Amino acid sequence: MNQVFTIAGTVMTIHLPAELDHHSAEQIRAEADRLIRTRNIRSLMFDFGGTSFMDSSGIGMIIGRYKMMRFMGGNVLAIRVGEQMRKILTMSGIYKVIDIYEGLPQQSELY
Amino acid sequence: MQQNEMKLEFDSRSCNEGFARVTVAAFMTQLNPTLEEVADVKTAVSEAVTNAIIHGYEGRVEKVTILGRIEGQELYVEVRDEGKGIADVALAMEPLYTTKEECDRAGMGFSFMQAFMDSLEVESEPGRGTCVKMRKRISREEREPVVTKRTDGTVAKDTQEASQTADGQPGKLIWNKQERS
């Protein structure tokens, strides 16, 4: 995976690393916030396609970005979520506020 | 009873979090755990180590110690720091409670440790540090590797056992496709 952030129109996808912990979450956070603030992003997609590990630091990072997107009237999705990642997302309760997809969402489900 | 012990000491830098959990995961493989059990332990260890780095030492670089022990089919893991300590452990362990919300902390570290391990014990003293003690029983029984004769006369060995269906009955064999093709 060469690019962490891809922007298509108003949709930004964050391609999460193989292991999303405190260390890697910190690295994503600053750049994600800068892009959300400076570009007109309405939908934020967290792509778990290449991710096999996440802990509560990852959850914290996602919740932080969710708050930011909600404040700006946008939405947040998690895509290509595998079984182990779904377990963490479910346990954290984050599934109540962001939509979780096993694959990719329909274009109509984005802003 | 099988006994084995290891001790790991490393700098409280965030780049060591991955190293720490992978080391514990490697240590526990001798218990023949399932992938899910390994993932659970990795998450719990990651939570404890991250707490030591962020809350215990608050960014200062000092030492975090992990003690791992195998007692029969049980894994014992201790994560210790000599940092700030926790004044009210019960409050700190409450779900969603965090002292560092501005740093995007979810307040779920202890909840995850509790959820992924069988038991969790936290000892702490302000100014002296914190020690997190976790246990998990690895349920997997000793399994014989599956040995099958291939048509070409060679023998295929596969440690991946008959998969278990949801009701606990043995299901059909799952083979390593790469090895077969």
Q: What are the chain B neighbours of A22 within 8 Å (beta carbons)?
A: 14, 17, 46, 50, 53-54
Looking at residue B54, its pLDDT comes to 95
Cα B136 from Cα B117, distance rounded (Å): 5
Selecting among B17, B21, B37, B47, the annotated active-site residue is: B47
* Helices assigned H by DSSP within B29-144: 35-51, 89-92, 109-116
Cα A2 from Cα A49, distance rounded (Å): 14
Kindly calculate the radius of gyration of chain B based on its CA atoms and give it in whole angstroms. Answer: 20
Q: Which amino acid is at A73?
A: G
| B132 in Cβ contact with B48 (< 8 Å) | yes
E-strand ranges in B18-95 read 63-71, 74-81
Q: List B5's β-bridge partners, or say none.
A: B69
Name which of A3-7, A94-98, B70-74, B150-154 the model is least confident about.
B150-154
Q: Do A53 and B112 touch (CB under 8 A)?
A: no
* Helices assigned H by DSSP within chain A: 22-38, 56-71, 83-92
B5, B23, B161, B164: which is closest to B74 by C-alpha? Answer: B5
We find that the CATH architecture of domain B3-137 is: 2-Layer Sandwich (3.30)
| A23 in Cβ contact with B14 (< 8 Å) | yes
Selecting among B16, B71, B74, B105, the annotated active-site residue is: B105
pLDDT tens track for A12-47: 999 999 999 999 999 999 999 999 999 999 999 999
* Mean pLDDT, range B43-69, rounded to an integer: 96
Class of domain A5-109: alpha beta
Cα A13 from Cα B62, distance rounded (Å): 36
| Closest B-chain CA to A64 | B104
Name which of B82-86, B143-147, B169-173 the model is least confident about.
B169-173
In the structure, what pLDDT confidence band is assigned to residue B82 with cuts at 50, 70 and 90?
very high
> Could you tell me whether strands B129-137 and B74-81 are parallel, antiparallel, or unpaired per DSSP bridges?
antiparallel
* Mean pLDDT, range A66-92, rounded to an integer: 93
* Mean pLDDT, range B92-101, rounded to an integer: 92
| B40 in Cβ contact with A53 (< 8 Å) | no
* Mean pLDDT, range B161-175, rounded to an integer: 42
Cα B65 from Cα B57, distance rounded (Å): 13
Phi/psi for B41 (5° steps) reads: -65, -40
Distance from CA of A57 to the nearest CA of B (A): 6
Q: Is the pLDDT of residue B106 over 80?
A: yes
A14, A64, A73, A16: which is closest to A44 by C-alpha? Answer: A14
In the structure, what pLDDT confidence band is assigned to residue B114 with cuts at 50, 70 and 90?
very high
* Mean pLDDT, range B71-75, rounded to an integer: 95
* Mean pLDDT, range A50-75, rounded to an integer: 95
The rounded mean pLDDT for chain A is 92
Q: Is the pLDDT of residue B42 over 70?
A: yes
Q: Is the pLDDT of residue B168 over 50?
A: no
Looking at residue A33, its pLDDT comes to 94
- In terms of residues, how long is chain B? 181
Question: What are the structural domain ranges in chain B?
Answer: 3-137, 144-181
Interface test with A, best of B12, B46, B51 (most A CBs within 10 A): B46
Question: What are the structural domain ranges in chain A?
Answer: 5-109
* Mean pLDDT, range A66-88, rounded to an integer: 94
